[in-house]
Structure 1
Amino acid sequence: MHLEAIERRSNLSREEFIESYLKPKKPVIFTDLVKDWPAREKWTFDWLKENHGNLEVPLIDKHYHDPDKYFQIAKKMKFGDYLDLIQAGPVDLRIFLFDIFKKIPELAEDIRYPTIMDGFIKSYKFMFFGGQDSVTSLHYDMDCSNVFLTQFQTKKKVILFGPDQSKKLYKHPYTVMSHFDPENPDFDRFPAAKNLVGQEGVFGHGETVFIPSLWWHHIRYVDGGFSLALRANDSVFTTLKGGMFLARHSIVDRGMTKVLGKKWKEWKESKASENAMEFL
């Protein structure tokens, strides 16, 4: 497995971004894309706790994708108590795909949609929170959007793989998931992963990683912290493909999981191994 460093850029123009990164679907870390956002200075742990600490938030744990607990909320907690928890150290509880702007709409006044490309989906923005060493397992976003993930206060590590690496990642059929862990690779279980080629990087407060459409990402919280994901589509075909993937997941994968449970998971793992054989 070979991982190269994600390029880091400052003062990147719209024209250069589109030609050098968006069109070729190449990741990049912006060091200054959100330099003018009020949120960059305003959104601290203390400010969030003081102003919005009483909000009740849903939390997930590492069992989120288990067949018997598929997409289930692990527990709920006051937002301020949860922020205290992730500041204190490692914890297996995350806020995942939470549209906090529906609960606290005034937060939207603290961000600015970038002009680096067109097609930002203003109704589709999410925040993510997690404790030190919490992991978002390897997947790509089923809506097929290009993602701009901005980190606040602390650091995250991201490992990315292009869509051409899907079979070597042992992609599960009818899903956007892989069970391969690029930080702790098990090449006995996933031998084809030895031939993976990807990119990695650490990004911190006020920095933004561009994850192109259909790119796989594994994300680890270096420290307890939070980030904001904005999404943008560069063509109508991307939007249509995302709708197809969402339907496939909702109808086929979730339906079969409910009916067959672990047997469906075992079939997907078997099929993923079969598909990876061509790279051995």
Structure 2
Amino acid sequence: MSNPLITPAPRPEPAATSTTLPDDWRQWVAENRLRGCTPESMLQVLLANDLDRSASEAALVAIERDPSYLAALKFLQLYGKLASVMLNHQRLVQSAPHYERVEKRAHVSRDEFTERYVRGSRPLVLTELARDWPALGRWSPADLKQRFGHAEVEIQSGRQADAQYEQNKLALRRTVRLGDFVDQVVAGGPTNDHYLTANNEVLRRPEFAPLLDDIGSLPDYCDRAQLAARSSFWFGPGGTVTPLHHD
């Protein structure tokens, strides 16, 4: 039996303004209110980025009664409850003998991987997995620049001077050629000042498909068809190149 529709109560209309914030900044407002940031601190950030004061203040007022934001708040509360359940489950799993020992194994069957490590929530390091990967002999800053230097990527720049760089990520984002970013990383050494935007969808783009071809054989419990959709590409200070979290 489906849930009946609930008729919403009438809500006051927000005051009309001559200007409104751009969509990406309106999203920023919603995300940071959901994170618990205060309207006062958010207004300071908006003004510091030369956004209209009246539009900024109107957006901060309007978000408190925005139906989508109020719906997101309910899901945030549900997420908190689920996170609490998962934390209790993890504590239970961690009580198993030798749980803190990270196992290293070269070969694990699908059934054992599922039962012992997935359902058992145990960490595992798979050794010798990448021995036949072309990536081992190919991936380097120079290789990235040669093959993909013309392609544009989104980065976070100027993080070092901004203590709230995560909160202000929209203001710090830049679009640059990957080749220029490679030069910046190699010349800059260890730093937090420039960073390839996390959770990017670079590997979904056709021009970066050759990176996936550099990944060789995978265990039978890994679905190669999901590599592009379920992985992220990262290159940053220190010269590290790696695909992240293939599920």
TM-score range, shorter chain: 0.3 to 0.5
More helix by share: 2
Select the structure of larger CA radius of gyration: 2
Tell which has more relative contact order, 1 or 2 (C-alpha 8 A, sep 6+).
1
Q: Tell me the TM-score normalised to structure 1 length.
A: 0.42
TM-score (norm 2): 0.47
The answer to which structure has the higher strand fraction is 1
